Amino acid sequence: MTYQVLARKWRPRRFSEVVGQEHVLRALTNAIVHNRMHHAYLFTGTRGVGKTTIARILAKALNCESRSGFDPCGECAVCRDVDAGRFIDLIEVDAASRTKVEDTRDLLENVQYAPSRGGFKVYLIDEVHMLSGHSFNALLKTLEEPPPHVKFLLATTDPQKIPVTVLSRCLQLNLKRLPPEQIRTQMARILAAESIEYEDKALNALALSADGSMRDALSLLDQAIAQGAGRVESQSVETMLGIAAEQPVIEILLRLAKGDAAGLLDCVNQLADLTRDFSEVLRLLLGHLHRLALFQVIPDRLAADEFNESLRGLAKKIPPADVQLYYQIGLVGSRDLDLAPDARSGFEMVLLRMLAFKPAVFQTGHASADHEAEQLVAPDAERDPGPDHCSLGEGPVPPNPPRADPASQQWRQIIQAMTVNGLAKELACNSVLDSADDSRIALLLDPKHQGLRSELIEQRLENALQNYYKRPLKLSIRIGAPGMATPALEMAAERQARQIAAETSIANDANIRALRENFDATILPGTTEPRGIS
């Protein structure tokens, strides 16, 4: 016998067999039950989500000889003929191959004649956006005032190309991409019915790769069965899809948690032996970070098979703020990966950026620095220091920044309370307190900002310190790696955290989600800013 592919063999033949698209099925079945059928329906959505399938089921339901409720019986002569593609009153047209106006006129030539067998003559035009402008004009009058025995079912992946005059005469039903969970459940049901062994991990990878298309998922499933010689195995599926193995990606997260740059590059070397598609590796890394974030916030919402023990351990090692930061950096990096000289170097830079912007616990190299800083703070410095104006950290500073060094916080309060601005303030913001006594203050300047040093700027900063403490003080500055975070770095980290929080809040907003789901809206990169940021 000739083998029939899974996408055709398991194509739904009744409304009750359709996976997902409940909002579309509800509208159609209610219209059938209450006899309120529109004369023209436009089904829109990406490939493989069920546009043509639902249209055929609807044509079958309209003409079924033994229909009970809204579902066609599937057993009468009409249902069998529709399934076999030989029902005379269902005229299917592929608009991509019949775009000329002459083809449309030939199609509509017999529209005035009554159906031969069924109750309705149904015209199913697939990829209707491919029709020419003259073809749409020829269709327009019939579409506006069709005979009572005619129904038009139009399907398209690109409704923007359809003239508004045609859109206004159709009832538009937008089919959504299927979530991976629904695709995976359907594949598991099909494999059980086909008596084919499978691994859950393999089905998860196939469902994600299908990108919301059930037809693509079943085509990939056919390929996976052939690849695994009658079984669906995770290793063969990963090889087939070019997906990197999970363990090296988990190892990347472990190295990030430890701040091990050399180990990260070793992991990239291992991945290079497994795959050349580093955009797929980055996508897998983002998926793990997403599950980490979910587990840290609502652990009970994730099934055990979706979150293995390695990731459970990582959820305890990586702070939630770091997870959010890594995810945001990864998203931006995935967008810019094509701009990198090559995918591997772009991926390495994303990982190094995660390390560079990771908030760190800084330890001071001077045992008495905390005490000295406390002595330096004048009584009036305990008041609210007001907004910060360092260029690397604009905006209001939270009262208790996370994991801040006490000595760094004291020096930061001094900077905020002093009457200093411009380059002198930049010099202070990019330095840390090295040592201090009643007559002398020593600062340690970050080597990356040694260009700020000049005799005039240092004199201005020294004068500001003398005015603040109201006593003579000598300022000395030396270049060296700070043992703690500079105020500028702290403020930059806080600004980044506020930005991530703002973007996360916008993305999780119920109204924004509704706009994205119902209208395919997108959030333009760079347009979200936290409050207080100009």
More confident residue, 448 or 189: 189
Would you state the pLDDT for residue 175?
A: 93
- Count of beta carbons in the 10 Å neighbourhood of residue 34: 9
Cα torsion through 231, 232, 233, 237, rounded to 10 = 130
- The secondary structure of 346-381 as a DSSP string is HHHHHHHHHHHTS------S-TTHHHHHHHHS-GGG
**What one-letter code names the amino acid at 77?**
A
Is it the case that residue 519 has pLDDT exceeding 80?
Answer: no
Q: What is the pLDDT of residue 378?
A: 41
Region of 446 on the Ramachandran plot (φ > 0 left; ψ -120 to 50 alpha; else beta) = beta
Identify the three-state secondary structure at position 481: coil
Most confident among 47-56, 95-104, 108-117, 404-413 (mean pLDDT): 47-56
Question: Mean pLDDT throughout 12-17?
Answer: 91
Mutual orientation of helices 246-258 and 343-356 as an angle, nearest 10°? 30
Is the pLDDT at 204 greater than 70, yes or no? yes
- Flag whether pLDDT at 460 surpasses 70: yes
User: Are 491 and 408 a contacting pair, CB within 8 Å?
Assistant: no
Left (φ > 0), alpha (ψ -120 to 50) or beta: where does 256 sit?
A: alpha
Structure tokens, 520: 């395919």
Beta bridge partners, 475, equal 441
Residue 492 contacts residue 392 (beta carbons within 8 Å): yes
| pLDDT mean over 309-315 | 73
**Rounded distance between C-alpha atoms, residue 387 and residue 392, angstroms:** 13
d(Cα 520, Cα 386) in Å, to the nearest integer?
A: 42
At 92, list the tokens. 């299917």
- Quick one: average pLDDT of 301-306? 54
Q: What is the pTM of this model?
A: 0.58
- Give 160-203 pLDDT, tens digit per residue: 999 999 999 999 999 999 988 899 999 999 999 999 999 888 88
Order across the sheet with 171-174: list the strands: 90-94, 121-126, 150-156, 40-44, 171-174
Residue 170, classified by CB atoms within 10 Å of its CB into exposed (0-12), middle (13-18) or buried (19+), is buried
Range in 45-49, 253-257, 260-264, 405-409 the model is least confident about? 405-409
Enter the tokens of residue 51: 């546009």
pLDDT at 244 over 70: no
Task: Examine the pLDDT at 54 and tell me if it is beyond 90.
Answer: yes
Which pLDDT value is given to residue 242? Answer: 65
Q: Which residues of 238-268 are buried (b: 16+ CB within 10 A; e: fewer)?
A: bebbebbbbebbbbbbbbbbeeeeeebeebb
Please give the domain boundaries of the chain with CATH numbers for all domains: 6-174 (3.40.50.300), 180-241 (1.10.8.60), 246-356 (1.20.272.10), 369-488 (3.30.300.150)
**If residue 323 lies in a helix (H) or strand (E), which one and from where to where?**
helix 320-336
Average pLDDT along the chain = 81
- Partnered with residue 520 across adjacent β-strands are none
Q: What is the pLDDT of residue 306?
A: 47
pLDDT in tens, 386-416: 444 465 434 333 334 334 455 567 788 888 8
Residue that is written with structure tokens 């004291």 in the block? 410
- Average pLDDT value for residue range 320-341: 88
- pLDDT of 238 over the 90 cut: no
Distance CA 233, CA 398 (A): 51
Q: What is the mean pLDDT of residues 103-131?
A: 86
Tens of pLDDT, residue by residue over 364-389, are 333 334 444 444 444 343 333 344 44
Confidence of residue 521 (pLDDT cuts 50, 70, 90): confident
* Residue 320: count of CB within 10 angstroms of its CB: 12
Q: What is the mean pLDDT of residues 310-322?
A: 80
Structure tokens at 419: 């009457």
Query: Residue 533 above 70 pLDDT?
Result: no
* Strands laid side by side in the 431-436 sheet: 431-436, 440-445, 474-479
User: Distance between CA 315 and CA 250 in Å, rounded?
Assistant: 11
Least confident of 140-144, 396-400, 520-524: 396-400
Confidence class of residue 44 from pLDDT cuts 50, 70 and 90?
Answer: very high
Q: What is the pLDDT of residue 246?
A: 65
Give the pLDDT confidence score for residue 193 in this predicted structure.
92
Question: How high is the pLDDT of residue 399?
Answer: 39
Separation in Å, CA 443 to CA 8, 312, 357, 379: 74, 43, 24, 22
Work out whether strand 121-126 and strand 474-479 pair parallel, antiparallel, or are unpaired: unpaired
pLDDT of residue 532: 58
The two beta strands, 440-445 and 171-174, are unpaired
User: For residue range 205-221, what is the model confidence (pLDDT) as tens digits?
Assistant: 888 888 889 999 999 99
